[in-house]
């Protein structure tokens, strides 16, 4: 990519201000972290939450940057500086062009919504691979490309990393979780989608978005990025899904709906009280599916995976069989059992997700239900009281504990827990700040038939030290099952 091309590409997409005397500069790479700049690189200065990239322009030049892009008024003596109105968008546009617009040669599926993105992604990947369709998957647990697995730092990577993954992918289909942060920060700008899914929208991220209205407006941006013949899949039982469908109808976007009502294109009903068997209606056809992942919320996820796989071209019978063979995924209603006691580890961190998770456990026939959960420091505090009320109502006992502190003092978090318990809690609740001790205490006092539900972390590793030297909820539960005697068991 040369300098003249950069100017032209940015001018097509956004307002830019620059001199045009540097036409012969060749760009060997792009970086927005000055530490990753190499000789001949383009450096883009991003104003982040923690740091302003404009402060590192001199360092980038020392590292070998030959072109700088930023938002501030800056004059550089020896190399060109391009001022843009939105450096994040410039990064996305140029990342796409640098990697030769890789989304144009791929069948790309984007999934957005508050809850269900990860489960739907894994379900869809399982179904497609059962039909011998190779998949790249990009999401919150891991990134999988060409059969190789890489750790995931964000639900949706930054545009430079994302376009590189798409460029390197030789898989037939790309399944991508698209977060509201990614949409607002222009991470997927320049990428065009063949199918876009909307799972649901409920209270979350209001520390980042000013209101639910803004949250919705950001989420629906994904559907502006559909290819000309792109299709939408929408949960029509969700009130925001209904609003989205009206917008898509006005734009003439081909849309498919899933839900419990007869007006849905793909409809489902439950066949038993435990919510582990569903009937899926597709026009005049129907399929009965036994699932390893109970709960109505998972029926929605399966219905969305079904219609999306059908759009890809997988036969309905193959899809139904694949859904039935799906065994689950890490940290999403993950069950570990011992001595008649069932522990469920789930990522649920919103009021809606906590409700559906606990409700699914009740419907599965739990004896006593003990819920262990907490909140991350520095995140949306407005949802805490609602989550506490839901837990107190559905569970027999609940324990408030610590999640990631995120720079908030532990004493402050414990004080917040005590305040919430005092204002909104009930007599069936207690506070045990150390997460591993809370889990150990629950398992130690559990009896056969009891269920212990641990929400908030899912598959994620702990960010601070606890009493037990374990790295995750799964490790803690496994240790306790191996080393503690459960009430009612023979020693």
Question: Does 97 count as an annotated binding residue?
Answer: no
Question: Does 335 count as an annotated binding residue?
Answer: no
3-state secondary structure of 268: strand
Question: Does 292 count as an annotated binding residue?
Answer: no
Question: Does 115 count as an annotated binding residue?
Answer: yes
Q: Is residue 57 within 8 Å of residue 46, measured between CB atoms?
A: no
**Helix (H), strand (E) at residue 289:** strand 285-290
**Order of strands, edge to edge, in the sheet holding 429-431?**
334-338, 341-346, 451-455, 369-373, 397-400, 429-431
Q: Taking Cα atoms as reference points, which of 67, 75, 87, 99 lies closest to residue 14?
A: 87
| Whole-angstrom distance, CA of residue 426 vs CA of residue 443 | 21
Question: Does 185 count as an annotated binding residue?
Answer: yes
Q: Is residue 27 within 8 Å of residue 38, measured between CB atoms?
A: no
Question: Does 415 count as an annotated binding residue?
Answer: no
Which residues are bridge partners to 399 per DSSP?
372, 430
Question: Does 34 count as an annotated binding residue?
Answer: yes
Question: Does 318 count as an annotated binding residue?
Answer: no
Q: Taking Cα atoms as reference points, which of 461, 378, 381 lies closest to residue 153?
A: 461
DSSP letter string, 398-411: EEE-----TT--HH
Question: Does 117 count as an annotated binding residue?
Answer: yes
Question: Does 118 count as an annotated binding residue?
Answer: yes
Question: Does 113 count as an annotated binding residue?
Answer: yes
Maximal C-alpha separation, the chain: 83
| Whole-angstrom distance, CA of residue 101 vs CA of residue 192 | 9
| Whole-angstrom distance, CA of residue 400 vs CA of residue 431 | 5
Q: Taking Cα atoms as reference points, which of 177, 188, 174 lies closest to residue 116?
A: 177
Q: What are the binding residues?
A: 34, 113-119, 154-156, 179, 185, 187
Q: What are the binding residues for ATP?
A: 113-119
């Amino acid at each position: 990519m040369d300098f003249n091309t950069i100017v032209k590409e940015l001018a097509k997409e956004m307002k830019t201000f620059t001199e045009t005397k540097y036409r012969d500069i060749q760009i060997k790479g792009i970086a927005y972290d000055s530490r990753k700049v190499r000789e001949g690189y383009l450096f883009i200065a991003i104003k982040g939450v923690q740091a302003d990239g404009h402060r590192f322009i001199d360092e980038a030049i020392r590292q070998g940057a030959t072109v700088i892009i930023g938002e501030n008024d800056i004059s550089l003596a020896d190399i060109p500086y391009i001022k843009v109105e939105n450096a994040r968008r410039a990064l996305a546009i140029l990342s796409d062009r640098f990697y030769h617009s890789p989304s144009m040669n791929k069948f790309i599926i984007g999934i957005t919504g508050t809850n269900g993105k990860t489960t739907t992604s894994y379900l869809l990947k399982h179904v497609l691979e059962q039909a011998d369709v190779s998949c790249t998957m990009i999401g919150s647990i891991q990134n999988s490309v060409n059969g190789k697995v890489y750790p995931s730092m964000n639900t949706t990577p930054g545009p430079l990393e994302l376009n590189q993954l798409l460029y390197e992918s030789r898989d037939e289909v790309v399944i991508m979780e698209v977060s509201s942060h990614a949409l607002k920060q222009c991470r997927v700008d320049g990428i065009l989608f063949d199918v876009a899914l909307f799972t649901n929208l409920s209270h979350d991220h209001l520390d980042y978005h000013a209101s639910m209205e803004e949250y919705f407006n950001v989420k629906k941006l994904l559907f502006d990025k559909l290819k000309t013949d792109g299709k939408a899949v929408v949960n029509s039982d969700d009130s925001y899904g209904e609003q989205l469908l009206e917008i898509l109808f006005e734009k003439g976007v081909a849309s498919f709906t899933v839900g419990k009502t007869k007006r849905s294109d793909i409809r489902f009903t439950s066949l038993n009280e435990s919510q582990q068997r569903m009937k899926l209606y597709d026009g005049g056809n129907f399929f009965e599916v036994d699932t390893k992942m109970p709960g109505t919320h998972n029926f929605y996820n399966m219905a969305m995976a079904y219609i999306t796989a059908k759009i890809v071209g997988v036969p309905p019978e193959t899809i139904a069989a694949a859904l039935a063979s799906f065994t689950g995924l890490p940290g999403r209603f993950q069950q570990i059992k011992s001595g008649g006691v069932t522990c469920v580890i789930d990522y649920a961190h919103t009021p809606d997700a906590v409700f559906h998770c606990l409700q699914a456990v009740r419907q599965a026939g739990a004896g006593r239900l003990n819920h262990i959960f907490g909140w991350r420091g520095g995140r949306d505090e407005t949802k805490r009281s609602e989550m506490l009320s839901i837990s107190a109502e559905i569970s027999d006992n609940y324990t408030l504990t610590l999640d990631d502190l995120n720079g908030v003092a532990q004493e402050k978090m414990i004080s917040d827990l005590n305040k919430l318990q005092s204002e909104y809690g009930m007599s069936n609740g207690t506070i045990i700040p150390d997460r591993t001790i809370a889990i150990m205490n629950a398992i130690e006092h559990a009896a056969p038939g009891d269920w212990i539900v641990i929400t908030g972390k899912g598959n994620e590793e702990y960010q601070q030290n606890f009493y037990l030297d374990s790295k995750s909820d799964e490790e803690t539960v496994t240790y306790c099952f191996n080393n503690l005697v459960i009430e009612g068991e023979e020693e």
